[in-house]
Structure 1
Amino acid sequence: MLLRYLTALCLLLPVHARANLDVHPMRIHVDAGKAAGVRVHSQSALPQYVRATVKRVLHPGTAREQEIDEAAGEAAAVAVMPSRFALAAGGSRLVRVIALDPVAQETALRVYFEAVPPLEDTDVAEAPGAASATVGVSLVWGVLVNVLPPQGRAALEVQGNTLRNGGSLRLGVLKVEHCVASSCEAHPVERSVYPGDALPLPFQPRADARVNVYYRLSRDGYREHQQTLRPSSDTAAAPVDESPELIEDAA
């Protein structure tokens, strides 16, 4: 959704306009009490000020997805350091996203980086010439942050034609297979299913079928896991540390 938004915004810009910032990576995960880094690069010939703001994502990966302002202070899930800084022309800055209190289940937030006009009472260290710099066309970059629980579990179950996530980790579901006896029909999915959410299956499982689910976990990068389920509401939860079958380990 974010990539579509940025693409549409770029199409509306004059052909000579260029993004004044570049941010990498666009998705990170953070364990409780730890930090992850985001590198902000300047694409401008002038010094500029950058501000970071945090939004909490509600119902991520669903049609009901929305963002709200993240609570400040002790109630915040993450801290961004620094949250405002001066960026020299062509320079870069490493920004740390720090997970604060442990979360019970994987939580999605988005950290937005944008260039802003300098403020007279700004408390960031000034770069030479920054006070006179002006902000022209500015793209806002949103980095998706997944905050992980200390003891995460992947718990899947099939209820009717729905795949439910009863665990505490986000599942990046790649595909599902409907298997009867030795015959399996594969269905690509490419959807994130967060704890407590459900994914409608593209088929109605037969009572004697097996449903193979291929998925990724946030902390495992491109490694793929697989679980085989029966169409029953009593499917047992499988903890992550029991090492679900590894399908692929990509670099």
Structure 2
Amino acid sequence: MLGVTIMLYPTTAAWFSQYNQASLVGMYGDQLAETAPDVATQLSEAYSYNEALSSGALLAAGANVAVGSGHVSGEGASYTDQLSTPSGVMSRLRIEKIGVDLPIYHGTAEDTLLRGLGHLEGTSLPVGGESTRSVITGHRGLASSRMFTDLDKIVVGDTFTLETFGEVLSYQVTDVVVVEPDQTETLHQEAGKDLVTLITCTPLGVNSHRILVTGERITPTPPRDLHAAGSSSGVPGFPFWALAFGGALIVAGGYVYWTVKPVRRTAENRSEA
């Protein structure tokens, strides 16, 4: 029984994770619809926050998670007050090529990265704009969720989309870099460019290197992406085959046990005689 549970855990856990993430993405859209007047204010404050931000990120040698090095000049709303919703979701990332549709949260704490993607504090908020660079991080290779597991399949020319408080921002990948364990990488704004960098670890299961996928804003936003915005996140059907398979193994195991048991008893009785 324990062996069956261990064997089927990754499949069922991944399904529940996808279901939960899809529910959060759907909740995010509903919450924005219910607070429409506040959306414009939130976006305006986010733009102001980015303008006051000295944005940057440092990926130190041997580190798996980047550290935000930017700071906000003057007095303004705190980072956690920006793009705030009751569910905690600040944005949504879609990468059609690899089937990614995930919520983005504030910060990169471990518990955050187990629920979805994390926006790196100290880098631009994911609302776009000239001379901005937002950094989004995520795990790969988790038994319970795919997250950024297939990010290594992304190549220059591929696209991804952010949906932030009703804004639809599309990006085309311009650079894919694998950073060696002993390398230090700095990520800063580039004058006039609207950039987003996605970061995860590699190789799968080893996690000694980091993959940096950078995309530059496509303007205007492609009609296809505008049309897809706000659509529900697709969740595959529950893997009933896994339950059926597990049930079959249990039945087969029970059959073998009860078939062999009388034979063992007979052998034991003979030895005692």
Q: TM-score, normalised by structure 2?
A: 0.27
Task: Name the structure where helix makes up a greater proportion of residues.
Answer: 2
Q: TM-score, normalised by structure 1?
A: 0.29
Task: Name the structure where strand makes up a greater proportion of residues.
Answer: 1
Work out which structure has the larger RCO, using CA pairs closer than 8 Å and 6 or more positions apart in sequence.
2
Larger Cα Rg: Structure 1 or Structure 2?
A: 2
